[in-house]
Amino acid sequence: MKIVWSEDALRDYHQNIDYLLLSWPVETVQKFINEVDWVLEILKISPKAFPLSDYKSARRAVIRKQITLFYRIEGDVIHLIRFWNTYQNPETINL
């Protein structure tokens, strides 16, 4: 399976890393990066491993309790849509 990052997903990912770098030790940042990499490896092997969400046929993978990855499967391509901070208002999510 091929993984394609949307602009929103890439921006969200980097914003999460930037926030962690400002507020947490480097080990925490590396742990977040490793957790994302682990989820992406699971997606390559088993794209439907994570449940459907309530949003436009997107699936959701919880990276941490604060961050959820939303993605869609189209053929042999996995489209990463957003890394959503769960503390945000869910009504404002744009998938």
Determine the 3-state secondary structure of 64 from DSSP: strand
For residue 70, report the phi and psi dihedrals to the nearest 5 degrees.
-105, 135
Top CATH class of 2-86 equals alpha beta
What pTM, to 2 d.p., does this model score? 0.89
For residue 60, report the phi and psi dihedrals to the nearest 5 degrees.
-135, 135
2-59 pLDDT, tens per residue? Answer: 999 999 999 999 999 999 999 999 999 999 999 999 999 999 999 999 999 988 789 9
Q: Alpha helices, DSSP H only, in 1-95?
A: 7-23, 26-45
pLDDT of residue 90: 60
Q: What's the whole-number mean pLDDT along residues 62-91?
A: 88
Domain boundaries, given as residue ranges, for the chain: 2-86
Q: When comparing pLDDT for 88 and 74, which is higher? A: 74
Band the pLDDT of 92: cuts 50, 70, 90: low
